[in-house]
């Protein structure tokens, strides 16, 4: 009888070793000096942010909590953000109010993390908030001087830990950058804002921080003197991706049926309505602006982004 002919040919063999490979790992991911609650750290930052810690491998699993060794005076806060690696926008964000005593404090996440690496940074730390670090190898600190656009290595170890309740024992990682598997995303999000924009000033109307794309934008300017001269600008990661003016679109024959950028409404000094059906991709930030040189205008922008999670 061949092995495959046996009724139990498919069952795992090897006893406990095979069983271990199918069970989740509940673990603490850390790189610090094992400091315990109540101990005063030798070194700490005061109100310092846009510094972070990078775990490069083995991070896929269920994240229960992210913690920082810190202290503070309420209502001051620490805001954390996280993503697969430095240089892209947040896939998750949360804030908490540290207690007055030094301790491991943080945020409950309770979400599946589908990436092999994990980058966590302190997006904001209030003026009377302190968080600990040391300058002992192996270093894993990074800092940004341009609000997260670029990051430089820093010879410190920020005291940031991640608690897992469902860390995988090892599998093929999904980096989130190049793969042929659909990445989990939240796709049913709508953001809408209306602003009164001053004459001659580019004004941000609505935006989102993260990594993903937006393929549908609605822009409306209310009836007013010179409303038809309003410009709408789309920026991806601080780079202008598209800029259109209601009156110029009308001059070149854009209508409701025009693909990519359509113009359902247009009237001199009247209501003007623009739809953008283009896929705009961004790594950190997506924002829509408005501008009208001669007059104050009221502009409403709706965006429908899909963010990677």
When mean pLDDT is compared across 16-20, 111-115, 244-248, 271-275, the lowest value belongs to 16-20
Could you tell me which residue, 285 or 177, shows the higher pLDDT?
285
Cα gap 39→41, rounded to integer Å? 6
Q: Which two tokens stand for residue 283?
A: 């790594």
Compute the average pLDDT of residues 276-296: 96
Residue 292: which of 208, 221, 191 has the closest Cα? 221
The one-character DSSP state at 172 is -
Query: Which superfamily, per CATH, for 185-308?
Result: Protein of unknown function DUF2961 (2.60.120.1390)
Residue 124: which of 206, 210, 51, 75 has the closest Cα? 51
pLDDT digits (tens, 9 = 90+) for 118-127: 999 999 999 9
pLDDT digits (tens, 9 = 90+) for 76-133: 899 999 999 998 889 999 999 999 999 999 999 999 998 899 999 999 999 999 999 9
Report the top-level CATH class of 3-167.
mainly beta
Q: Report domain extents, the chain.
A: 3-167, 185-308
Q: Which two tokens stand for residue 211?
A: 């990594």
Residue 150: which of 85, 207, 92 has the closest Cα? 85
- Characterize the bridge pairing of strands 261-265 and 203-209: unpaired
Domains 3-167 and 185-308 fall in the same CATH topology: yes
Q: Is the pLDDT of residue 3 over 60?
A: no
Cα gap 205→76, rounded to integer Å? 28
Secondary structure (3-state) at 247: helix
Compute the average pLDDT of residues 42-46: 96
């Amino acid at each position: 009888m061949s092995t495959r002919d046996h009724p139990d040919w498919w069952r795992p063999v090897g006893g406990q070793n095979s069983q271990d490979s199918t069970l989740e790992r509940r673990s603490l991911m850390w790189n610090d000096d094992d400091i315990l609650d109540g101990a005063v750290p030798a070194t700490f930052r005061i109100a310092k942010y846009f510094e972070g810690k990078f775990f490069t491998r083995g991070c896929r699993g269920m994240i229960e909590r992210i913690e920082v060794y810190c202290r503070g005076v309420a209502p001051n806060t620490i805001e954390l953000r996280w993503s697969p690696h430095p240089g892209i926008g947040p896939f998750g964000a949360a804030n908490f109010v540290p207690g007055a005593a030094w301790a491991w404090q943080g945020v409950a996440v309770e979400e599946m993390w589908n990436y092999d690496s994990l980058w966590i940074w302190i997006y904001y730390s209030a003026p009377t908030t302190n968080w600990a670090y040391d300058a002992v190898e192996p270093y894993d600190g990074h800092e940004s001087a341009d609000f997260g656009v670029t990051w430089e290595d820093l010879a410190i170890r920020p005291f940031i830990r991640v608690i897992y309740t469902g860390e995988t024992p090892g599998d093929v990682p999904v980096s989130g950058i190049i793969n042929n598997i659909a990445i989990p995303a939240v796709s049913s999000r709508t953001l809408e804002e209306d602003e009164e924009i001053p004459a001659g000033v580019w004004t941000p109307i609505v935006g989102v921080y993260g990594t993903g794309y937006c393929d549908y934008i609605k822009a409306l300017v209310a009836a007013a003197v010179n409303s038809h001269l309003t410009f709408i600008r789309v920026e991806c990661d601080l780079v202008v991706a598209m800029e259109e003016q209601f009156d110029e679109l009308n001059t070149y024959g854009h209508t409701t049926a025009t693909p990519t950028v359509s113009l359902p409404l247009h009237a001199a000094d009247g209501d003007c309505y623009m739809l953008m059906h283009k896929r705009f991709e961004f790594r950190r930030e997506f924002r829509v602006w408005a501008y009208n040189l001669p007059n104050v205008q009221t502009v409403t922008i709706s965006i429908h982004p899909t963010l990677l999670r």
